[in-house]
Amino acid sequence: MANFMLPFSIFFASIFTSNILLTNYLGMCSFLSVSKELKTSLGLGAAVVFVMATTTPLNWAVYQWLLIPFGLEYLRFIVFIIVIAAFVQLTEMALERYSEGLYQSLGIFLPLITVNCAILGASLFMVIREYSLITSFFFGFGSGLGWMLAIVAMAGIRTKLKTAKVPPGLEGPGITLVIAGFMAMAFMGFSGMIAVS
C-alpha cells in the first residue's frame, strides 16, 4: 500500500513542500528574467512541465539500462544533458512540422529550456534519491507543475508591482528575490501536509 501511494505523495510534495524553485533554487535564471509577463510565463511554464515530465523518466531509463550495466555512471552529467538537448530539439522540430499554433505559443520557449537548471536538477535528484520509473515520472511532472505555479504567481505579482514605488537599488531582480522569499515562506506552510521524501 505504501509503495502504491509513494508516487502520489512525491507528486504532491514536489509541487508544494519541496518545490524545486523555492526550496532548491533551481531554474532561477529564467525565473527572474521571464516572469515579467503573465502570458510568457504561462508558455514557458507549460514547456517546462512537458519537458520535465518526459525527460526525467527518459533519463531514468538511460541511467538504469545503459549507464549502470556498462559501469559508466560517472558519465551521467554529459549523457543527461545530451538526452535533454536532443529531446528538446526533436520536440521543437515536431511542433514546427505538425502544429503551427502550438509552435507559436510553446516552441519559442523550448531553446531556453536546455539551459534551465531545473530540468537537469530533476534528473540528478531522481538518481540520488533512487526513484523507480513511475515515481520519477511523477516527480518530474510534479516538479514541473511546481515550477510553473511559482513563475505564474510571480508574474501575477510583478504585473501589480508595476504601479508600486520600489527603491531604485531594489528594482528588477532585487524585489523579485524578496517576493520569491515570501513565496518560499508561504510554500513552507504546506510542509505539515506531506512528509518530504
Partner 1 sequence: MAKSKLKKTFLEPLGKNNPVFVQILGICSTLAVTNKVQNTVVMTLGVTFTTALSSWTISLLRNHIPSRIRMMVETMIIAVFVIIVDIFLKAYYPEMWKQLGPYVGLIITNCIIMGRVEAFALQNKPLPSLVDGFSSGLGYTYVLLAIAVIRELLGSGSIWGIQILGSWWTNWAIMIMPPGGFFVLAIVIWFIRETIMKEASNG
Q: What does the binding site for partner 1 look like in residue numbers (CB under 8 A)?
A: 22-29, 32, 74-78, 81, 85, 114-118, 120-121, 124-125, 127-128, 167-170, 173-175, 177-178, 180-182, 184-185, 188
Which residue shows C-alpha cell 507528486? 11
In this complex, which beta carbon is closest to partner 1, that of residue 161 or of residue 188? 188
* Smallest gap from residue 1 Cβ to partner 1 (A): 29
Q: Alpha-carbon distance 63 to 156, whole Å?
A: 38
C-alpha neighbours within 13 Å on the C-beta side of residue 49: 18
The residue type of 114 is T
Q: Which is nearer to partner 1, 23 or 105 (CB)?
A: 23
For partner 1, the closer of residues 24 and 64 by Cβ is 24
* Smallest separation (angstroms) from partner 1 to the CB of 37: 18
Report residue 90 as a C-alpha cell: 526533436
Residue 115 or 153: which CB sits closer to partner 1?
115
| Distance from C-alpha of 131 to C-alpha of 27, rounded to nearest angstrom | 22
Q: Is 38 exposed, middle or buried (0-12, 13-18, 19+ CB in 10 A)?
A: middle
Compute the least distance from the CB of residue 145 to partner 1, in Å: 18
CA distance linking residue 67 with residue 191, whole number of Å = 35
**Closest approach of partner 1 to the CB of residue 57, in Å:** 17
